[in-house]
């Protein structure tokens, strides 16, 4: 791996995203709907779940090929590469070529999974994705890791906070952000059964397991943990577990807030969003991404045209990230359960 993408920081050695009370996994105690055994609730990075899911998929489907741009150890495609070297192509540090080559492989009936860091995959190769993958609706799965600010110590150059917006704006593109390891595995299986270009956004840091073991992901479908009468939080990715913490905190103060996991940012589950708006009249979106153009943008666009209610967006406020431990960065950029709680309380006060 090249120096400019060196994986620094302590986070990868076990420290996960901390919740509001400083416990790694506390959301499970408070909001887990099914009382998981401790062994099953160990936090796992979505990229690790991807590595396992990809290997399983490779065993089942011969047409699966995997491409990486010199980051297979970090994206976890190395697991697949080790077992299926003849179906793995390292393209080197050349993301534009990565995308084009994946496109070409798909034209011979292969199902390419092209992986690198989110900032390089969607930023460096955006126009290649537009011209070659989405314009022609090629069956290429763009699975990027190291999204968002929880890339942590590597800093702003490596923290993709624009990728959802960049992919969402492309016609024919499906955009999925799994919330945990369970959902990631489901997503990888589901996109293999779907013909067409898909962007999957994964993270580097370990995140709590929050989805039920028997959960079945469907492209375009939201998962409702709870529908609130006072407010509803529509969250994606790692912000789902943070939102569950916020829900519990609000409950103690007598505020009924719901949480909806929106793994598919495009196509958005319009019915779920409108239903949530009808139930509470206050919608809060939560994503580890810029407040511009991502889930918050998608929800606001839908509601303003169809069922206008107040929308507050939790996310990175049109600024770049910086270096630091992921839990401190989550605080610095206003992405904690406390931030959601405060946002909801203030909004309810004004209404």
- Closest separation in Å from C-beta 176 to another protein: 23
> Does 123 participate in binding another protein (rule CB under 8 A)?
no
Helix H or strand E segment including 112: strand 111-115
> Does 102 participate in binding another protein (rule CB under 8 A)?
yes
How close are the terminal C-alpha atoms of the chain, in Å?
A: 52
> Does 147 participate in binding another protein (rule CB under 8 A)?
no
> Does 91 participate in binding another protein (rule CB under 8 A)?
yes
Q: How many residues touch another protein (CB under 8 A)?
A: 30
Q: How far apart are CA 91 and CA 160, in angstroms?
A: 21
- Closest separation in Å from C-beta 197 to another protein: 13
- Taking CB under 8 A as the binding criterion, the range among 134-142, 218-226, 281-289, 290-298 that sits at the site for another protein is 134-142
Q: How far apart are CA 328 and CA 348, in angstroms?
A: 27
Q: Which is nearer to another protein, 102 or 302 (CB)?
A: 102
Q: How far apart are CA 238 and CA 269, in angstroms?
A: 19
Q: Which is nearer to another protein, 5 or 130 (CB)?
A: 130
- Whether 183 sits among the annotated catalytic residues: the reply is no
CB of 160 within 8 A of CB of 320? no
Q: Which is nearer to another protein, 47 or 130 (CB)?
A: 130
> Does 15 participate in binding another protein (rule CB under 8 A)?
no
Nearest to 204 by CA among 335, 42, 8: 8
CB-neighbour burial class of residue 213 (10 A; exposed 0-12, middle 13-18, buried 19+): exposed
Q: How far apart are CA 66 and CA 86, in angstroms?
A: 10
The total of other beta-carbon atoms located within 10 Å of residue 13's CB is 6
Q: Which is nearer to another protein, 138 or 265 (CB)?
A: 138
Cβ within 8 Å of residue 211, ≥6 positions away: 179, 180, 182, 183, 186, 223, 261
Window 255-284: residues binding another protein (CB under 8 A): none
Q: How far is the CA of 30 from the CAs of 130, 158, 213, 232, in angstroms? A: 43, 33, 17, 18
Q: Which is nearer to another protein, 37 or 86 (CB)?
A: 86
Cβ within 8 Å of residue 282, ≥6 positions away: 230, 231, 232, 309, 310, 312, 344, 347, 348, 351
> Does 58 participate in binding another protein (rule CB under 8 A)?
no
> Does 170 participate in binding another protein (rule CB under 8 A)?
no
Q: How far apart are CA 140 and CA 106, in angstroms?
A: 6
Among 135, 194, 195, 320, binds another protein (CB under 8 A): 135
CB of 260 within 8 A of CB of 232? yes
> Does 169 participate in binding another protein (rule CB under 8 A)?
no
Among 137, 227, 270, 323, binds another protein (CB under 8 A): 137
> Does 131 participate in binding another protein (rule CB under 8 A)?
yes
> Does 76 participate in binding another protein (rule CB under 8 A)?
no
207 phi and psi angles, rounded to 5 deg: -130, 150
Catalytic residue among 95, 162, 287, 288: 95
> Does 72 participate in binding another protein (rule CB under 8 A)?
no
> Does 115 participate in binding another protein (rule CB under 8 A)?
no
> Does 196 participate in binding another protein (rule CB under 8 A)?
no
> Does 195 participate in binding another protein (rule CB under 8 A)?
no
> Does 87 participate in binding another protein (rule CB under 8 A)?
yes
Q: How far apart are CA 291 and CA 337, in angstroms?
A: 17
> Does 101 participate in binding another protein (rule CB under 8 A)?
yes
Q: Which is nearer to another protein, 87 or 266 (CB)?
A: 87
Active site residues: 95
Which residues of this chain interact with another protein, rule CB under 8 A?
65, 86-87, 89, 91-92, 94, 96-97, 99-110, 112, 127-128, 130-132, 135-137
């Amino acid at each position: 791996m090249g120096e400019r993408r060196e994986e620094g920081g302590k986070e990868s050695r076990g420290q996960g995203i901390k919740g509001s009370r400083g416990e790694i996994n506390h959301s499970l105690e408070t909001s887990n709907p099914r009382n998981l055994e401790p062994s099953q609730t160990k936090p796992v990075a979505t990229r690790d779940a991807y590595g396992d899911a990809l290997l399983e998929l490779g065993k089942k489907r011969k047409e699966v090929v995997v491409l990486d741009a010199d980051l297979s150890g970090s994206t976890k495609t190395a697991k697949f590469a080790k077992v299926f070297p003849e179906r793995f192509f390292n393209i080197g540090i050349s993301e534009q070529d990565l995308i084009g080559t994946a496109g070409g492989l798909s034209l011979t009936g292969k199902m390419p999974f092209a992986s690198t860091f989110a900032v390089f995959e969607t930023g460096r190769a955006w126009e290649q994705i537009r011209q070659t993958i989405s314009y022609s609706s090629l069956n290429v799965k763009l699975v990027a890791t190291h999204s968002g600010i929880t890339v942590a110590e590597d800093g702003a150059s490596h923290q993709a906070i624009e990728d959802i917006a960049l992919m969402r704006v492309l016609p024919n593109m499906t955009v999925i952000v799994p919330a945990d390891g369970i959902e990631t595995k489901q997503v990888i299986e589901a996109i293999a059964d779907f013909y067409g270009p898909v962007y999957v956004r994964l993270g580097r840091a370990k995140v709590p397991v929050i989805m039920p073991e028997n959960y079945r992901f469907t492209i375009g479908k939201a998962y409702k943990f709870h529908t609130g009468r006072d407010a509803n939080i529509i969250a994606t990715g790692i912000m789902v577990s943070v939102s569950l913490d916020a829900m519990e905190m609000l409950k103690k103060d007598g505020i009924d807030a719901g949480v909806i996991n929106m793994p598919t940012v495009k196509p958005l589950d319009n019915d779920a969003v409108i239903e949530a708006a009808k139930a509470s009249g206050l919608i809060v979106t939560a994503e580890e991404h810029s407040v511009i153009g991502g889930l918050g943008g998608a929800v606001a666009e839908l509601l303003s045209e169809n069922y206008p209610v107040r929308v507050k967006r939790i996310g990175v406020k049109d600024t770049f990230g910086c270096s630091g431990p992921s839990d401190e960065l989550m605080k610095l950029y206003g992405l904690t359960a406390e931030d959601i709680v405060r946002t909801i309380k203030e909004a309810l006060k004004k209404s």
